[in-house]
Structure 1
Amino acid sequence: MNPLKDRDRELAPLERKFNHFIFSFEQFFKSQATASITLLLAAMAAMFIANSQWHEIYQDISHMAFSISLGDFAISYSLHTWVNDGLMVLFFFLLGLEIKYECLVGDLKDFRDSSLVIAMAVGGMLIPACIYAGIAMTGTDVAMRGWGIPMATDTAFALGILALLGSKAPRSAAVTLSALAIVDDMGAVAVIGLFYTENIHLVSLGYAGLTLLGLMLMNLLGFRRPIFYMLGGILLWWFVLQSGVHATAAGILAALAVPTRPYAQSSWFSRNMRSVLNRFEKNDREDKSILEQQEQHELVEQAQDIAAMTTTPIQRWGHVLNRPVSLMILPIFAFINAGVALPSELDKIFESVVFVAVGSGLVLGKVIGISLFAWFAVKCNFARLPKGLNFHHIIALASLAGVGFTMSLFIASLGFANYPQLLAQAKLGILAGSVIAAIIGTGLFLLVKKEEEEPKEQLHNKAGLPQTDPE
């Protein structure tokens, strides 16, 4: 689509000057790095308030009761529970849409192309969990409950860092990291469902299964309107919540039922859009705006309907949810969960088994696991490196994968829900480990770029050619 320029606009009286002011903000919100920056600001705000004179206010906000009632029926939970068990369902629904898309037509469709990221993801889950378990064995039995924390990768943060690096990181690095994070998230979801679920209520679970079958049946019958899946998704969420399985599993399950077929074929789209465009041009008059021409307005609405019927629900709904989830839901989650009081003597935090285990799993486990399994897969001809990537890039990617902020906090809140002191230690380990992993990964990408440029400079010198800016 061609960019919209001022000469093609119908500007409000003060809009032109205002646009110069707002342009930088619009560019910021369109950037891939926006989500990671917003998450970081939310986490920093939580840490600041939790360690300030307003720390009691922060706790009061987190435990504030929020109720929904209709007659005698009422649902009442704390704000912390609504965010973690309610709003985060939308994040997992969006994650489910991405997983389904990648498995059907994306980077995970062909096993030969996805074998590398699968091997990397397996290594990036097993080794961090083993490192955590090895360290946690020296502590209490309860500390072992957090073994799943360092397995996760925060996609938004990691891709945001790559976006900030720009040309310093190959384009294929972002594709590989995205696919790695998707497989990683599959593993994290499986871990949550299998190992962080207690007291299963079979009746509610059965109702959830019937609801999911209903959603699947709607897909097979050709239902594509979002209202049906929204109502079914809410019902599924309620039954899953009551079953004892973590409520966010409803988001993943509901995403599996989302249709992947458009209502109309692309040839129908071309014919009808061409007809609408021709009629629109015939009615177009330079001396009148669309406000004065109702027929043109109706034609534009027809074009919107035609476009909606030709795009697939899985793509359209994912696009609609992407910004609200990344810029609102995830920052709210980060603010509610990241705030933890720092110990009065910071050096004593290293005596915490959970802190050391989480940090070591994210920083060391991810690098060792992802790099080792990638090397093994390539050497055994089980996989091949994507074009433009070498093993230096793989190690840098493995470091960035150690940024496990969102999903790690989520698993920590499940594993140590009844152990606030261990939960605080786990959160500090996640924050420290993620920051260190981000710094190391960024530095490695910068070093790899520098190493690749040196031979070019030497070649220019040997040939007697003037050195030029690689950019």
Structure 2
Amino acid sequence: MYRVWNFLNEYSLLLILGAVTALIWANIDYASYHHFVEFVIWDDAPIGHYHHGHRTLTLHYLVNDLLMALFFAIAAKEVWEAVILKNGSLRGKKAATPLFATAGGMFGPIGVYLGLALIMGSDTYNAVANGWAIPTATDIAFSYLVGRLVFGAGHPAVRFLLLLAIADDAAGLIILAIFYPSAELAPEWLLLSLITAIVVFVGFNWLPRFTDRGNQARPNSTWVRKNLNYFPYLIASCLSWYGFMRSGLHPALGLLPIVPTIPHADRAFGFFSEAESYLNDLLNVIEHALKRPVEVILFFFGLLNAGVQFSSMGDATWLVLAGLLVGKPIGIVLFGWIAAVPFKLGIPQGMRIIDLVVIGCVAAIGFTVSLFVAGVAFDAGPVQDAAKMGALLSFGAAIVSIIAGKLSSVQKQPL
């Protein structure tokens, strides 16, 4: 069974509410909206935007750079389990074709985005080139919802779409870390994150298990879990986040080194799996505890990032949309076909090659991560607003997906 409706209720509905509120507010009174977004919580703070020798903690920084780290930690948790655990969805031959398709879903949008920007002229290209990663994103929750509507919950294409979206999340995290630093790089600060991760893993995960080997009662591991619970990882997360902030890498990724250090289940049941909610390992317990806070965080993320005026549409808007609505389907179909046919890796039983076209259209819903990347790719101003509008309008891919499903005679398959 899948719990997508619960997931959407817990995450996406408040996100949409925040985004819609921001759009309305920005188009009624942009000045007051901008003042709200840049509200100064603490001037000359130990964390925040660095300007002229001191840091300023604004509401925007608090949400995008600090609190969104919890959102990316949950995404990293799903990717980590998919890769490392027994029966993880990105392990083995079953993941080969989706991984190829994911690569196509990255290169296709980049090629279309930058190619069209070049055609538009050097001035346009220079202005928008840094946003090449915006259309590579796939919003996993909304794409999954639309995939179920088009294919039916039991269609193998839905599972294929999930694998692709999880791999896309992993690639997106890597792109953010490598290509979008938040400040001048000071990589020596990453040692703080690395050392913290090693210490917390060895001291509170590996060592108790090592000393308990051969003893089924597991007294040391039980004592650590009962008396210390998540506190060592909370402290480690704070130190790791601070290390990322000082290193110049985007601090929203600061919890990623800590996620693999937390004790986890021996196997993964898959994203949206009902069984995940019954797992009592510390990693899943922490994820469950974070769901409500992240729900509120995503509301504020939508509120603080989606407030663009409709008049701000520009070249970046159409380039982002072209990358998503044209580049994604083309890349996914081309790379998916190469993997399935010439490389003979195959596709899931009950799925057709033409279904890759529909999957490509569904995966073109960028929204959350596209909106985030647009915010870090460009400085505040007309180009950033235009790119954000493209991310918001990518919801139109849902309509395109439904039409593509009808034209390709998709047969819905219930559970």
| TM-score range for the pair, normalised by the shorter chain length | 0.7 to 0.9
- The alpha-carbon distance between structure 1 residues 143 and 78, as it changes in their structure 2 partners (threshold 3 A), is same
- 1:466 matched residue in structure 2: none
- 2:128 matched residue in structure 1: 143
- 1:259 matched residue in structure 2: 263
- 1:270 matched residue in structure 2: none
Q: Distance in 2 between matches of 1:392 and 1:33?
A: 31
Is 1:438 aligned to 2:398, yes or no?
A: yes
Q: Distance in 2 between matches of 1:29 and 1:393?
A: 24
TM-score, structure 2 normalization: 0.81
Aligned residue identity for 1:313: L
Alignment size in residue pairs: 371
- 1:229 matched residue in structure 2: 233
Aligned residue identity for 1:435: F
- The alpha-carbon distance between structure 1 residues 376 and 340, as it changes in their structure 2 partners (threshold 3 A), is same
Q: Distance in 1 between matches of 2:261 and 2:146?
A: 33
Question: Any residues of structure 2 matched to 1:352-431 within 5 Å, and which?
Answer: 352-416=314-378, 418-431=379-392
Question: Any residues of structure 2 matched to 1:271-282 within 5 Å, and which?
Answer: none
Question: Any residues of structure 2 matched to 1:87-102 within 5 Å, and which?
Answer: 87-102=67-82
- 1:219 matched residue in structure 2: 205
> Out of 286, 297, 318, which is 1:329 matched to?
297
Is 1:241 aligned to 2:245, yes or no?
A: yes
Is 1:316 aligned to 2:285, yes or no?
A: yes
Give the superposition deviation at 1:451.
5.6
Give the superposition deviation at 1:446.
4.5
- 1:48 matched residue in structure 2: 24
Q: Distance in 1 between matches of 2:171 and 2:106?
A: 8
> Out of 159, 173, 179, which is 1:195 matched to?
179
Give the superposition deviation at 1:447.
4.7
- The alpha-carbon distance between structure 1 residues 132 and 437, as it changes in their structure 2 partners (threshold 3 A), is same
Give the superposition deviation at 1:97.
0.8
- The alpha-carbon distance between structure 1 residues 171 and 331, as it changes in their structure 2 partners (threshold 3 A), is farther
TM-score, structure 1 normalization: 0.72
Is 1:179 aligned to 2:163, yes or no?
A: yes
SS at match of 2:350: coil
- 8 A Cα contact 1:107 1:179, kept in partner: no
- 1:285 matched residue in structure 2: none
- The alpha-carbon distance between structure 1 residues 451 and 94, as it changes in their structure 2 partners (threshold 3 A), is closer
After the TM superposition, which of the residue ranges 131-140 and 95-104 deviates more from structure 2? 131-140
- The alpha-carbon distance between structure 1 residues 229 and 127, as it changes in their structure 2 partners (threshold 3 A), is same
- 8 A Cα contact 2:333 2:356, kept in partner: yes
**1:77-110 Cα shifts (integer Å, max 9, x gaps):** 1111111101110011101110111112344353
Q: Distance in 2 between matches of 1:105 and 1:412?
A: 36
Q: RMSD in angstroms over aligned alpha carbons? A: 2.9
Give the superposition deviation at 1:252.
1.9
Give the superposition deviation at 1:251.
2.3
Q: Distance in 2 between matches of 1:157 and 1:421?
A: 27
SS at match of 2:310: coil
- 8 A Cα contact 2:194 2:257, kept in partner: no
Q: Distance in 1 between matches of 2:247 and 2:68?
A: 18
Is 1:113 aligned to 2:94, yes or no?
A: yes
- The alpha-carbon distance between structure 1 residues 32 and 430, as it changes in their structure 2 partners (threshold 3 A), is closer
Q: Matched residues, percent identical?
A: 28
> Out of 113, 127, 137, which is 1:132 matched to?
113
SS at match of 1:248: helix
- 2:137 matched residue in structure 1: 152
**1:122-171 Cα shifts (integer Å, max 9, x gaps):** 000011011111122221413111011111101121123335x2873544
Give the superposition deviation at 1:35.
3.5
- The alpha-carbon distance between structure 1 residues 255 and 400, as it changes in their structure 2 partners (threshold 3 A), is same
Is 1:66 aligned to 2:17, yes or no?
A: no
- 1:4 matched residue in structure 2: none
| Structure 2 residue runs without a partner (length 5+) | 49-55, 209-223, 267-276
- 8 A Cα contact 2:144 2:161, kept in partner: yes
After the TM superposition, which of the residue ranges 56-65 and 85-94 deviates more from structure 2? 56-65
SS at match of 1:66: strand
SS at match of 1:251: coil
Q: Distance in 1 between matches of 2:300 and 2:62?
A: 11
| Structure 1 residue runs without a partner (length 5+) | 1-26, 263-306, 454-469
Q: Distance in 2 between matches of 1:402 and 1:109?
A: 21
Q: Distance in 1 between matches of 2:46 and 2:304?
A: 27
Give the superposition deviation at 1:116.
1.2
Aligned residue identity for 1:322: K
> Out of 36, 39, 54, which is 2:12 matched to?
36
- The alpha-carbon distance between structure 1 residues 167 and 320, as it changes in their structure 2 partners (threshold 3 A), is farther
Aligned residue identity for 2:196: T
- 8 A Cα contact 1:91 1:251, kept in partner: no
- The alpha-carbon distance between structure 1 residues 415 and 323, as it changes in their structure 2 partners (threshold 3 A), is same
Q: Distance in 1 between matches of 2:402 and 2:9?
A: 14
- 8 A Cα contact 1:170 1:388, kept in partner: no
Q: Distance in 1 between matches of 2:4 and 2:327?
A: 33
**Higher Cα Rg: structure 1 or 2?**
1
Give the superposition deviation at 1:438.
1.6
Q: Distance in 1 between matches of 2:411 and 2:297?
A: 40
